[in-house]
Amino acid sequence: MKLAVWDPDEPFRRWRDALAQHAGELRLAIEVIDAAEQPDEQADFALVWRPPGEWLAGQQQLRAVFNLGAGVDAVLPLMRAHAPQVPLIRLQDAGMGRQMADYVAEAVLHAHRRMLDYAALQAHATWEPLVLAPRTGFSVGFLGLGHMGLAAARRVQGLEFPVLACTRSGTPRAGTDFDGPIYGIDRLYEFLGHCRVLVVLLPLTADTHGLLDYGALSQLPRGAHVVNAGRGALLREQDLLDLLDEQHLASATLDVFETEPLPIDHPLWSHPRVRITPHVAAHTLVGPAAAQIMRKIAALERGDDPGGIVDARLGY
């Protein structure tokens, strides 16, 4: 079988070597091709990160497409337009969960220990110990509880902060050990009212685009913090800025934005209560991803469910 790789962010040889290593373990005979160098080669499976639509349209024998990022919002419209009958399969963690847990835990501790306030005091050479909120009342809410959200929630629970979550269904996923309150998305405002820190990890869909506007964000308690490591378009940036300027919100840690890279003249860059990272909360790790992809291909070869098949109606 032929496995095509389209990933402008990683050298092809890294994918080729990792896939070959794990294919040998599973006794799968494959040929890994660089789709950018051999765009006319027909493949049985494809590993993609933001592929061009014309290339996808030219692939006539694809049995499945694996998305190499956490979210599928960029590739799903291309699949609908050019390969609607081909299953789109997402990675399930592949090393990203631990990274996301690290990112979120740092943001929660940064907010709880009032590090932005200490930075402001330092700028004025002011020595002033600050009173911290009791940890037991510093609730951290997870908007989205997929693989990465669950990994981050477990880490925050381990730090002894109370956690709660809001998901589309409002019910825990089978096999998970999350034991905090879970709200359905129809109770979003009620959920937000309990969050001292809001961690946004929802997928971007037609239903979630712009979900966190002024009305929603203003439901957060006064002095709350926002952490967005999901998708930038989930959150209305100007509404966030307005609530920060009104001092309703205390801070925001943002890894994702409506436009990426964030334009150089965007007011988020210079806001004193905003921390910015360039979409680095969780990277796809080639080794673990290659191992997972080969296991999923082996499952498909056996006729089994590989897990992670995207529901095009839901958008994730």
Query: Secondary structure of the chain in the HEC alphabet?
Result: CEEEEECCCCCHHHHHHHHHHHHHHCCCCCEEEECCCCCCCCCCEEEECCCCHHHHHHCCCCCEEEECCCCCCCCHHHHHHHCCCCCEEECCCCCHHHHHHHHHHHHHHHHHCCHHHHHHHHHCCCCCCCCCCCHHHCCEEEECCCHHHHHHHHHHHHCCCCEEEEECCCCCCCCCCCCCCEEEHHHHHHHHCCCCEEEECCCCCCCCCCCECHHHHCCCCCCEEEEECCCHHHECHHHHHHHHHCCCEEEEEECCCCCCCCCCCCHHHHCCCEEECCCCCCCCCHHHHHHHHHHHHHHHHHCCCCCCECCCCCCC
Candidates 147, 231, 236, 275; catalytic one = 231
Q: 130 with 117: CB under 8 angstroms?
A: yes
273 catalytic? Reply is: no
Candidates 98, 279, 283, 295; catalytic one = 279
80 catalytic? Reply is: no
CA 192, CA 46: separation in Å to the nearest integer? Answer: 39
Tell me the catalytic residues: 231, 279
